[in-house]
Amino acid sequence: MGSIEECDVVVVGAGFGGLYSLYLLRQEGFNVKGLERGTGVGGTWYWNRYPGARCDVESLQYSYSFDPELEQEWEWTERYAGQPEILKYAEHVSDRFDLESLIEFNTTVEAADYDEITSTWTVSTNRDTYQARFLVAATGCLSTTNLPDFEGLANFKGDVYHTGRWPHETVDFSGQRVAVVGTGSSAVQAIPVIAEQASELTVFQRTPNYSVPARNEPLDAAIQAETKENYAELRQAARVERSGIISIFPPNEDSAKQADDSEFDARMDERWEHGGFGFYRAYADIGIDQTSNERIAEYVRGQITKIVDDPETARLLAPTNTIACKRPCLDTHYYETFNSEHVNLVDISEGGIEEITVTGLRAAAQDFEFDALVFATGFDAMTGALLNMNITGKGGHTLAEAWSAGPRTYLGLGVPEFPNLFTVTGPGSPSVLTNMIMAIEQHVEWIRDCLVAMRQQDFTTIEATATAADNWVDHVNSVADQTLYPTCNSWYLGANIPGKTRVFMPLIGYPPYAEKCQQVADNNYEGFCLG
């Protein structure tokens, strides 16, 4: 039994959300404690060390904006930073602002209980216990891995990996027969790199995914210098963009279905060649009009057919569903990889993985032998990490009970019946549909302002009202219902986890959201009950 430590705020998670929370709250004089289950900082970028892991947001934009000196001194080396570089950046931020001294590592929250009499949270971990007025859950949107309950998995005598829990030691697949299960963003990045090492690589695909070339390259020194000169303007411009990302292609209101053939082809070719998410924003109605969407989807299918030599493999790789309905992928030679003799694609859309055996797995009515299995099967997104903390609020009710019909928050920041709990980029906020670091900064600054305002006004508790949360959930859904997003089985809806309630979890549209948060704060936290 460990000791009990008291503090003002417990921050769970030492990824970008946790680090910034610790920095800002300490700056305001709060006694803060960070708890992190890993041995170091970095969150997503600490855990996802799989070969090829790289951020799909360009490095100059996937970084903190809060400190101009930090912005100027850090030098990115590639257009999109790889996982090791982003992890170094997180470590640099932690060192530079002396944040590590505030964090307990190797510390997993096992329960968090709210005491209505003392208005405090008791946070129990595998080590010590903490008591705090406020609990900030900076636990990430994609941090609880999903390893499906495959029959026979424990029997496999080779090595088993999940992309989201990759070992710290170098994994060398040289000379090995490797299986990759899954074809989402993680797999799309890992497959080409694993294929460079493995003697045989077999990819098990349940649903094909659309992917567009990232066109990663060394970062041009002149572009970096120019961006740094104009960083403040660039960041501000990003904050009024729905994606939170500035592209060389300005936003437009054009409709794909109305474009004539030559204009359409020229625009899509240009964006395909340039690479990156700008491709998915070529036409404004990709996400709201099925005909326009299908035209863009058909363009990508055409590219796959051109790249992949074997017609049957090309056919299997070509998705038929709505493009950019699931989180779109960016890649470096993903489709090209399937032209290698030693890379095979197995369609498991009918029967899935039937069984893991001692020496491999059975799927598509065949037995396969492998030295290593790599599961790129994703995450229990947005709610997984929050629910894993076993949070109990007022009246002894658990968060799992409160969210049995799907997550119910106000602004993705507060939960009725769970006073003094803040969720950084929680469900109901734009989070994963915008630039995560920008979304994190906005949330953490809002939480900081809120705690400072409460202290000034002598309030000790804040709780989202049930009405505000209900209206907010309706709002999140009604915005989603105006788009094609709810029409496919994505993790945005929780559809990738068997039994999970299907509710569209992130809010579409960052700029109006940030305005709304500001308005709520300006109106003395309207929709929250202060006590």
Chain residues that interact with ligand NAP, rule: CB under 6 A: 54-56, 142, 148, 163, 181-187, 189, 206-207, 327, 352-353, 376-379, 432, 491, 496
Structure tokens at 433: 């549909």
As a three-state string, the secondary structure of 326-355 is CCCEEECCHHHHCCCCCEEEEECCCCCEEE
Helix ranges (H only) for 457-496 are 466-481
- Quote the least distance from Cβ 316 to ligand NAP, whole Å: 13
CB 164 within 8 A of CB 47: yes
- Quote the least distance from Cβ 62 to ligand NAP, whole Å: 8
With respect to ligand NAP, which residue has the nearer C-beta, 144 or 392? 144
**Alpha carbons 372 and 156: distance in angstroms, whole number:** 9
**Alpha carbons 96 and 18: distance in angstroms, whole number:** 15
DSSP state of 28: T
- Quote the least distance from Cβ 185 to ligand NAP, whole Å: 4
- Quote the least distance from Cβ 64 to ligand NAP, whole Å: 17
With respect to ligand NAP, which residue has the nearer C-beta, 264 or 334? 334
With respect to ligand NAP, which residue has the nearer C-beta, 190 or 444? 190
With respect to ligand NAP, which residue has the nearer C-beta, 14 or 325? 325
Rounded to the nearest 5 degrees, what angle is found at the Cα of 44, between the Cα atoms of 74 and 195?
A: 95
With respect to ligand NAP, which residue has the nearer C-beta, 15 or 182? 182
Angle subtended by helix axes 510-522 and 436-456, to nearest 10: 0
Three-state DSSP class for 497?
coil
With respect to ligand NAP, which residue has the nearer C-beta, 331 or 417? 331
Structure tokens at 402: 């409160």
With respect to ligand NAP, which residue has the nearer C-beta, 46 or 528? 46
- Quote the least distance from Cβ 338 to ligand NAP, whole Å: 15
How many beta carbons lie within 10 A of that of residue 30, not counting itself? 22
In the complex, residue closest to ligand NAP by CB: 184
Helix (H) or strand (E) run with residue 422 in it? strand 421-423
Q: Under 8 Å CB-to-CB from 448, ≥6 apart: which residues? A: 24, 25, 28
With respect to ligand NAP, which residue has the nearer C-beta, 183 or 243? 183
Structure tokens at 385: 């990490």
With respect to ligand NAP, which residue has the nearer C-beta, 205 or 227? 205
Of 340, 335, 331, 336, which is closest to residue 199 (Cα–Cα)? Answer: 340
Of 352, 410, 407, 413, which is closest to residue 377 (Cα–Cα)? Answer: 352
DSSP state of 149: -
- Quote the least distance from Cβ 427 to ligand NAP, whole Å: 14
With respect to ligand NAP, which residue has the nearer C-beta, 111 or 348? 348
Q: How many helices (H) and strands (E) does the chain have?
A: 16, 20
**Alpha carbons 474 and 428: distance in angstroms, whole number:** 10
CB 100 within 8 A of CB 41: yes
- Quote the least distance from Cβ 116 to ligand NAP, whole Å: 37
With respect to ligand NAP, which residue has the nearer C-beta, 94 or 377? 377
- Quote the least distance from Cβ 167 to ligand NAP, whole Å: 17
- Quote the least distance from Cβ 53 to ligand NAP, whole Å: 7
- Quote the least distance from Cβ 78 to ligand NAP, whole Å: 13
With respect to ligand NAP, which residue has the nearer C-beta, 107 or 435? 435
- Quote the least distance from Cβ 124 to ligand NAP, whole Å: 29
- Quote the least distance from Cβ 101 to ligand NAP, whole Å: 30
- Quote the least distance from Cβ 497 to ligand NAP, whole Å: 9
DSSP state of 411: T
Question: Within its chain, how far is the Cα of 101 from the centroid?
Answer: 27
Three-state DSSP class for 423?
strand
Q: How far apart are the first and last CA of the chain?
A: 33
Instruction: Write 47-50 long-range contacts (CB < 8 A, 24+).
Output: 47/143, 47/164, 47/165, 47/166, 48/83, 48/163, 48/164, 48/166, 48/186, 49/83, 49/84, 49/166, 49/167, 49/168, 50/83, 50/161, 50/163, 50/164, 50/166, 50/186, 50/189, 50/190, 50/374, 50/376
How many beta carbons lie within 10 A of that of residue 431, not counting itself? 28
Three-state DSSP class for 188?
helix
With respect to ligand NAP, which residue has the nearer C-beta, 419 or 427? 427
